[in-house]
Every structure is written in structure tokens, then in C-alpha cells.
Amino acid sequence: MSQRPQALFAMTAENVPQVFPPEVLDRLRESVDIDPALVARDFTDPGVRDALARTEVLVTGWGCPRLDAAVLDAAPRLRAVLHSAGSVKSFATPEVWRRGIAVSSAAAANALPVAEYTLAMILLAGKDVLAARDRMRATRTSSGWGVVPGIGNYGRSVGVIGASRIGRRVLELLRPFDLRPALTDPYVDEREAAALGVPLLPLDDLLRTSDIVTVHAPETPETHHLIGRRELALMPDGAVLINTARGALVDHDALVAELRAGRLTAILDVTDPEPLPADSPLYDLPGAFVTPHLAGSQGNELARLGQAVAEEAERLLTGGKLAYAVDLAALERAA
């Protein structure tokens, strides 16, 4: 593409100024001709339909309508879909790839804050910070300075489930610390794990030997309740489970039973269902620390997603290779 191609936003309209603040939008518009006032939320809208017929690049985001054959028939010039968020599974059908349309995702950019959240929670959990804060709030007293046995991050074992973008970034962030990470992933072999600098373990062995387990696997039929009653029972007393992936990867009924017994602690940024019902015991159990799906890009971090799209648009304009292309063959086992 030597001239600026026609582009169209397809997402929830309020996301456009958040993901593409003025400086990021200006950079995007250097590569594509796009109107931020025209945002496709419904591809059957007549005005959107007219724009779609001229569109060569679709800039998608949260809330993008489904790209099925009928929509693609209405976009005969479409050559690329640049997604300003993570997974494209909710809207991109296989027909997109069958027609030779390139697909890119900002999933790598969105992985960064999730990994940062995970690192923070690993370090806080190792020092028992969350429970200590609750104890102080309940008792309104402090034991003062003194050695607290059983806590600390020196030599603590951390099990990472899934060598996804986020899982790999977590492993990178753990390197400066005196922790002992390990990995489980059915798609990773010993050689690749060695390149990541960690031992590769079967899931059961990782659960048995980890003080902290953090989940970064995709949600697929095979990973539904990947961590169930049997798996939780393998975790040692006092272990911590962190989930920033998808709520359905963990059997919440089994987890609640372990939390009620006081045997495990859980840090959950995702739940099943999401949001939790008001009567969920996870709100009140002392071993549960629940946050409202905020590990991913929030606030000023959203601009990083728009920046990733602007960079991909520049590559398209100059005939370069997309840095974050989404491969249909790998999509089934991706988040």
C-alpha cells in the first residue's frame, strides 16, 4: 500500500478516544484515512455499509460486530483487520482468513499490564501482605517489628501454567528475583522451556511443588476446569492460586471448599461467572482476594493498544510484515 488506505473503526464508540487519544490517533492517520466520528457498531447501518464498501483496513476493538461472510461480501476491498485489543475470537470468523485478509492483534501489548499485575501479586503473596492487612484491619493492632516465620520471597517456588504471551512475560519479569519458577504447557517441549530458563513439569508435579501457582492458559474446551477438585488437592497447604486468565479454568465450587478449609489462598482477577453474583462466598472468605478484571489494559494503558495498531498500520503502508499477525491455525489454542 503506497497511498493511505481507507480505514474504518469497528468497536464500541466510547472506546475510540480512550484507545486512540489525540497523539495516537494522529499517528494512525499518518498511515490510514480514517474518520474517528464514524464508528461501526452495527454493520447493517446504511452509513456504515457505504463506508464498509470502501474500507481497506478495519480497525477493530472491544464490541466489534461479527465478521461473517455477509459482512465480508459488503467489504470487497478489505485487506487487513487491525485489532486494538486481545483475542479476535469473538468477532473474526474463519472466513476472514479464507479470503486472504491479514489479521493483527494488540494482544502482546495487552499482555504487559497483566504480567505486571501477576508479578505484583506473586511478590505480595510471598510476603503474606494481603492477609496481614486483613488481620490488622480486624484486630486494629500491630505486633510490631519481628521475624514472621513462613513468609518471604527468597527461594519461593512459582508455577506458571501456560506459556502464552502473558505467561512468557511473567517468566521474564521473575528473572531478577530469587524465586524458583517452573512451567507447564502441553505445547512446549524441554528445549523451548530451557530457552525460557525454566524447568518443564507435568501439571500435577507443578501443582505439588509450587508455593504460588499462576494461571495463563487459554480458555478452550480442554481447559475448562483445568484446576478442579483433584488439582487443588495436590497443592501444598498454604499455597496461593492466582488466576488472571479466564474464570472457567478454575472450578470455583472446589476452590471455595479449599478456601473455607483455610488450606489455600486465591487471588482472582477473573471469575466464573463474571461478574460474581452478590451472594458469592468469594466476596467474604478471608483467603480470597478478588479484583474486577482490571489486570488487563486500563486507563492510560489503553493508549498502548492504539499505539500497537498505529505501528501495524505503518507496516502495512510501507509493505512491511505485520509484527503481531494472528494465525488461524494457532487460534483454536489461543485465548
- List, by residue number, the catalytic residues: 246, 274, 293
Which residues touch 237 (CB under 8 Å, ≥6 apart)?
263, 264
Closest C-alpha among 153, 6, 159 to residue 76? 6
Question: Nine-digit cell at 182?
Answer: 517452573
Question: Nine-digit cell at 55?
Answer: 474500507
Q: Are the C-beta atoms of residues 297 and 76 closer than 8 Å to each other?
A: no
CA distances from 96 to 4, 64, 69, 93, 299 (A): 22, 14, 8, 6, 31
How large is the greatest C-alpha to C-alpha distance in the chain, in angstroms?
A: 70
Closest C-alpha among 86, 55, 62 to residue 326? 86
Task: Output the 3-class SS for 174-206.
Answer: HCCCCCEEEEECCCCCHHHHHHHCCCECCHHHH
